[in-house]
Chain A
Amino acid sequence: MTLNQNLSTVESGLKSELRKKGIVIATLEDFYNWGRRSSIWPLQFGLACCAIEMIATACARYDLARFGAELFRASPRQADLMIISGTVTKKMAPQVVRLYNQMPEPKYVITMGACSIAGGPFIDGTNVLKGIDRYIPVDVHLPGCPPRPEALLWGITELQRKIDGQEIEKNEWYQRGLKREFPIPEFGPKGLIPKFNPDVWRPETASRRRERYGDPILLGKKTAAPKFETFGDPNVKVGTV
């Protein structure tokens, strides 16, 4: 992520001179971005364990309100930021994308926790989506299981830095007539269709998973039921120890 710097064209001497008189000069961009970064409204939307830490961040001790992001909205139409806090299962993924589509531009996404980044501890689960970034663009990834509230605060400030670097001329949501719709996956017989959105994510050409994490856990391999010798023996009670 490269951040563009907002350089003011007004020379700094004049600026400070004006500031003494109570006049602040900023570019329109600065002004827009300042407004956006200081009132990020997250979507009130918890998925799994990480949601509890998200709530803890909003509560008194960590106090998300210091960063202007305390106003959790229950409706996606009023939200700017989607904190995907927890495991996204294949059943839930279409709803997540749909919610994302319903949010007004500009919108941002923070994935919170290992699960929403790449499946996390449940990566071997057949029903678990291996990263929500296959369907929607993600701005900040927050690793951890669960990330501490401080980490979420860091994520929010990182997002604010990103917002600071937006340029009116280049960013797509400042352009006229923008309509972005991300295709909503459907639940097919063998998982989600399509498997990913090629505009935002492409698989690595060679899977390095085995090299990184070792052999996967073999799911679905079943052996025959164990035979207990104790079943026929009246002296031994099974299951009561």
Chain B
Amino acid sequence: MSPPVLEKTFQASDPVLQDTETFEVNLGPQHPSTHGVFRMNVKLEGETIVSLKPVMGYLHRNHEQIAENMSYLGSMPYTDRLDYFNSMSNNFGYALAVERLAKIDVPERAQYVRVIMAELTRLVNHVSVIGFLLNDLGAFFTPVLYAFREREKILDVFEEVAGSRMMCNYLRFGGVKRDLTPAVTERIKKIVRGFPKFLDEFEGLLTRNEILCIRCQKVGVLPYDLAVNAGITGPMARASGVNYDLRKVDRYSIYDRFKFKIPLGKIGDVYDRYLVRILEMRESLKILEQALKEIPAGPVMNPKFAALAKAPRNFKPPKGEAYGRVEAPKGELGFYLVSDGTAQPWRYHVRAPSLINLTVLEDLCLGHKVADAVIILGSIDIVLGELDH
């Protein structure tokens, strides 16, 4: 074989290029693109990915085991730390599971407060995720600045109602911890009013952006069948056209009272996932508007369980099992509880959407370049606290 001549342009079929070796690259656990401590072992042929092995467990914190040795209420703050962007939805899922287990009623106003908080969390999550996705694309930190500006406004609301910015620990079995004051309601209304303007601004900068289109369209296509077979949920499944949203399917809490649509994608590429998230935020705003209009007065806590916080060990649900699930911003978040009649759950299992959505990572990345793997991972939207729990 003669040595390659410089003027020559190479074709893929060239014998020189046929001779290349596969090359193994390790991305992470400390890597700016991996959203935490996640590692990918990537095998490359040139720059094309031929195999990808995710390595997890760098943030395994014995979540389930700790919860099995705790009172039921004691695990509520731990659920905050599962998916640390959306502590309210995690609380929601867990509260639903325990309420099903112990058959607790939730007052009307509390239901509305829960829905409002869950939808606000969705806004926080989607807006940050899009910021980080753009970060991975190379628009270093500028979109995140916009995203976090909005996030801070919502976190202010959380801080006012729950006392903490990120780790809210706000929901209780049978209601929520504190009532919304009129000032907070006003503040939420203001955010809801101002958010579409921000979304327009955000979209104006991004949606038709040429670089974003070229980098995202037709990259990491998740076909409908694979999405269904692999159990993908959340915006990722909906971007592939799977019409599955627990808010419509399961109709938990009071979601059947609100009018909203489920945005669906056609192709299932990174761009669709981006668009679905933007549209979902707009739908969330609709829910928020309706909820804020309809929210009744009344108690926010089931009086029978109001004293639970003082003596959480006295709370002993009857024997049985329950599965509570919510449409968390990342997908179906489920809590499976088995009670043996004592103060702590006999089994506590988390169905983490991040973990299950990640299972298709290799299928999405095969045949793409390394740089695309980074944005595909960004568009899957994982959070390590939940992935490894």
Interface residues on chain A, size class: 35 or more
> A217 and B70: CB pair below 8 A?
yes
Given contacts A49-B167, A223-B346, A238-B321, contact A92 B59 (CB under 8 A): yes
In the docked arrangement, what's the CA distance between A43 and B61, Å?
Answer: 23
In the docked arrangement, what's the CA distance between A52 and B69, Å?
Answer: 28
Given contacts A145-B167, A146-B166, contact A55 B62 (CB under 8 A): no
Query: Is B195 positioned at the interface, with any CB of A under 8 Å from its CB?
Result: no
Q: Which of A59, A99, A125 is close to B149, meaning CB atoms less than 8 Å apart?
A: A59
> B61 and A87: CB pair below 8 A?
yes
Query: Is A74 positioned at the interface, with any CB of B under 8 Å from its CB?
Result: yes
- Residues from chain B with a CB closer than 8 A to the CB of A89 are 57-61
Residues of chain A from 187 to 241 with CB closer than 8 A to chain B in the complex: 217-221, 223, 225-226, 228-230, 238-239, 241
- Residues from chain A with a CB closer than 8 A to the CB of B194 are none
> A122 and B66: CB pair below 8 A?
yes
> B61 and A239: CB pair below 8 A?
no
Q: Which of B69, B78, B148 is close to A55, meaning CB atoms less than 8 Å apart?
A: B148
- For A58, the closest partner residue in chain B by CB is B141
Interface size on B, residues (CB 8 A): 47
> A219 and B65: CB pair below 8 A?
yes
- Residues from chain B with a CB closer than 8 A to the CB of A58 are 141
Q: How close is A62's CB to chain B, nearest CB, in angstroms? A: 9
Query: Is A38 positioned at the interface, with any CB of B under 8 Å from its CB?
Result: no
In the docked arrangement, what's the CA distance between A55 and B60, Å?
Answer: 22
Looking at the complex, which of B9-17, B255-263, B334-342 is the stretch in contact with chain A? B334-342
- Residues from chain A with a CB closer than 8 A to the CB of B384 are 48
Query: Is B218 positioned at the interface, with any CB of A under 8 Å from its CB?
Result: no
> B30 and A228: CB pair below 8 A?
no
- For A122, the closest partner residue in chain B by CB is B61
- For A74, the closest partner residue in chain B by CB is B32
- Please encode chain A, from 45 to 80, with 1 for each CB lying within 8 Å of some chain B CB and 0 for all others: 111110111011011110000000000001010000
Q: How close is A145's CB to chain B, nearest CB, in angstroms? A: 7
> B62 and A226: CB pair below 8 A?
no
> A49 and B84: CB pair below 8 A?
yes
- For B60, the closest partner residue in chain A by CB is A127
Query: Is A27 positioned at the interface, with any CB of B under 8 Å from its CB?
Result: no
- Residues from chain B with a CB closer than 8 A to the CB of A55 are 144, 148
> A124 and B66: CB pair below 8 A?
yes
> B77 and A47: CB pair below 8 A?
no
> B69 and A221: CB pair below 8 A?
yes
Q: Which of A46, A74, A122, A238 is close to B320, meaning CB atoms less than 8 Å apart?
A: A238
Given contacts A61-B148, A121-B78, contact A217 B66 (CB under 8 A): yes
Query: Is A141 positioned at the interface, with any CB of B under 8 Å from its CB?
Result: no
- Residues from chain A with a CB closer than 8 A to the CB of B60 are 89, 91, 127
- Residues from chain A with a CB closer than 8 A to the CB of B339 are 226
- For A56, the closest partner residue in chain B by CB is B148
Query: Is B316 positioned at the interface, with any CB of A under 8 Å from its CB?
Result: no
- Residues from chain B with a CB closer than 8 A to the CB of A44 are 32
Given contacts A55-B144, A239-B322, contact A127 B166 (CB under 8 A): no
- For A99, the closest partner residue in chain B by CB is B30
Residues of chain A from 101 to 154 with CB closer than 8 A to chain B in the complex: 121-122, 124-128, 145-146, 148
> B36 and A47: CB pair below 8 A?
yes
Query: Is B385 positioned at the interface, with any CB of A under 8 Å from its CB?
Result: yes
Query: 10 closest A-B pairs (Cβ-Cβ)?
Result: A226-B340, A125-B62, A49-B84, A59-B148, A74-B32, A241-B100, A217-B69, A122-B61, A92-B58, A61-B152
| Known A49-B385, A89-B57, A226-B340; 12 more pairs at CB < 8 Å | A47-B36, A47-B59, A52-B85, A61-B148, A86-B59, A87-B59, A89-B61, A95-B58, A125-B63, A220-B65, A225-B346, A241-B103
